[in-house]
Structure 1
Amino acid sequence: MSKITLRIIAEQTGLSKFAVSRALSGKQGVSESTRARVIEAATNLGYNRPTRNTFTIGAVFDVEDHANGEMNVQIQNGLQSEAARLGYTIRAHWTAGDGDLKKFIDGCDAIFSVNVQHKPSLAQIMNSAKPVVRSGWADPLEQVDLVGGTDREAGIAIGTYLYDLGHREIVFVHGDIDLRGRRERLLGLQEVVEATPGMTCYDVTWGGDTTFTQGLDRILAEGGHPTAFFCGHDGLAITAYSDILSRGWRIPRDVSVVGFGDFSPALQVTPTLTTVKIKAQEFGRAAVRRLDTRLRHPSQKLAPMRLLIPNVLIERGSTAPLTVDWHAPI
């Protein structure tokens, strides 16, 4: 079989070699409809496009997303590795609703929106007519490709895990900000509690003039005896550890603590933190593969997909079976 060249694609499409070259390289100077027609013809003919710098995928991050900073770095690593394998260039942009976003989008062939919550920015991305994959959250039945983890499943898994260790009263350490992922983890935990007689779940939030310590004091004053803590993020485990140890409680002999994320704080505390690992690099890899499919088949009306990467329980030293005769002192 003879090698498919730009000349063959040009003859197939009725365009010049110059136009075909610009269309396949992602450069300006051709319309989006022409670019789509050239890509479709090249794919159907079996054209082996150059392995690098053919198309550009733009990754848009929310500059104010401090809670997910470490996860975003991991996502970017996954993007870069999969893009290198498939022959794409990755460009990154951190937005806080700034006016440079449109210019950035115009210079990309496809967009991966990473936890962008700013509605005007999301509107620019979704109205760009470029292939888009998002991570984070979508509205119910929103027609968009979405990559994410299994937050609610994680809550269910941790509820079951702690129950099997003998724990019946569990504090969910929610933190001082209310993020959708944390709510989903809490809902999963509450699902187990509601289906299991004798289990209780407390949701501790704080902010303003209130603290985690005050929230836990209130639970104890009302007769609660929690023996396990599920932290909505590994960083919150620092807060939980400090308070628990200041009370003279021992981890994990008296109380067990579970985090979420498997980020750097999980290994910075003693004992090291049992946690739920987010496979964030796989978010980036999956996003590139989905955008690759859309870029290679622009004329096909592919149904949007929800691509969920299962989390993983990582057991370390902060959890253990409940000591039967221990009760939290009031």
Structure 2
Amino acid sequence: MPRKISIQMIADQLGLSKYAVSRALSGKSGVSQTTRERVLELARTLGYELPRQEDNTFPTAAGTASSFVLIFINQSNQGEPYYWQRVLGGLISGCNERGWHHVIVSQTFSSSPETAQSPQEAIAPHLDWSSCLGLIVLGSHPYDALQRMARTGKPLVLVDHSEPLLACDSVNHANIEAGITVTRHLLYRQCRKIVFLGDNSRSVSFAERRIGARLAVERYGSKETKLFEWELSYEEGGWQDAAAERLAHLPPEERPDAWIGANDDIALQWMRKLQQMEWSIPDQCRVAGIDNVEAAALASPRLTTVNLCKEELGTRAIESLQRRIERPGSPSEKIQLSAALIPRDSA
């Protein structure tokens, strides 16, 4: 009997999320035309039976045809294609399904004292706030900026960030779980000297993934297991040379047998640097990342990683906003999307 081709099989071969493949196959928004064509081509090649395109829409929860969602994203993240653009794609798709418009703001908020302006005027004076359904904030922003957004009186949802001092909904990846998962995999592979490569100043996510690695070593490691944490200047760039010099000065008996990148980009850059230094992967050491970006499946060797559903993060944020609109007095929710290991050749 021939093997049944599943959406997950197509996703694994292309290095995409199951969500993205599903939307591409069904003709829905949220993926680029290039991605859609790649998915359809592979599906036809494998003999996957393409579903009929459906026009599923949700009723508009509130407002008129001009109602919009105000989306905030840091300028430094707006052009990042592998993570934030995919999250943004999920947000936009969720808005489209509900008949909502969206407005993206990437301004930098100052931490200067409040003026006599209202929060609405300080944030976006050019908008008609009576048509604003709510605010969705991607990534880290200063607390005073988030406080200003909350004072608009509009529903507020944080994405890939939490702020315990604000009573608002948030949708996050299970970053600690991701750190535990990838570290435990390396421990199962008999790795005993593991280095976590990260930059705590970059995001809360990086710090949480580092905590997960620590917890995994404490729970599942042996007396011989050691976790080393190398802090990188990831935002500034050029960190690979500094890390390579640090590695070169280690005695042979202290050299790591495994590396974890706080994200796939760090892991991929470091794997290329190790290969330039004539390290054989995975023979001499293993390398793993977190995120499951498309480049991870195309690397040589293919990068072991932890899948985090970027598009789903965006769509769940829209679902949270809709719930908040429909049930304004309900308790705030902290949603975490689970992580899943994708073992490949590098580890």
TM-score grouping bracket, smaller chain normalisation: 0.7 to 0.9
CA–CA separation in structure 2 for the residues paired with 1:66 and 1:85: 22
* Equivalent of residue 183 in structure 1, options 198, 207, 211: 207
* Equivalent of residue 144 in structure 1, options 168, 172, 175: 168
Contact 2:78 2:106 in 1 (8 A): no
Quote the RMSD (CA, aligned, Å): 2.8
Contact 1:55 1:109 in 2 (8 A): yes
Q: Name the residue aligned to 1:212.
A: 243
- Within-5 A mapping of 1:241-260: 241-260=271-290
CA–CA separation in structure 2 for the residues paired with 1:146 and 1:127: 17
1:160-205 superposed Cα distances (whole Å, 9 cap, x missing partner): 1111111111111115954321111111111121232221111112
* Equivalent of residue 57 in structure 1, options 39, 62, 69: 69
CA–CA separation in structure 2 for the residues paired with 1:138 and 1:204: 25
TM-score after normalising by structure 1: 0.73
The structural deviation recorded for 1:268 is 4.5
Letter in structure 1 aligned against 2:284: D
Q: Name the residue aligned to 1:303.
A: 331
Contact 2:61 2:322 in 1 (8 A): no
* Equivalent of residue 123 in structure 2, options 93, 97, 101: 101
- Within-5 A mapping of 1:67-216: 70-97=82-109, 101-103=123-125, 104=127, 106=129, 108-140=132-164, 142-175=166-199, 177-195=201-219, 196-197=221-222, 198-207=224-233, 211-216=242-247
TM-score after normalising by structure 2: 0.70
Are 1:314 and 2:342 counterparts?
yes
Identity across aligned pairs (percent)? Answer: 20
Gap runs ≥5 in structure 1: 1-46, 320-330
The structural deviation recorded for 1:238 is 3.3
1:268-326 superposed Cα distances (whole Å, 9 cap, x missing partner): 4311211112211111111111111222234xx1100001111222222211xxxxxxx
SS of equivalent to 1:109: strand
CA–CA separation in structure 1 for the residues paired with 2:291 and 2:315: 18
Q: Name the residue aligned to 1:8.
A: none
CA gap of 1:241–1:50, structure 2 versus 1, over 3 A, is closer
Contact 2:247 2:255 in 1 (8 A): no
Gap runs ≥5 in structure 2: 1-58, 111-120
CA gap of 1:123–1:50, structure 2 versus 1, over 3 A, is closer
CA gap of 1:67–1:57, structure 2 versus 1, over 3 A, is closer
CA–CA separation in structure 2 for the residues paired with 1:176 and 1:49: 38
Contact 1:204 1:216 in 2 (8 A): no
Deviates more, 1:204-213 or 1:147-156: 204-213
SS of equivalent to 1:251: coil
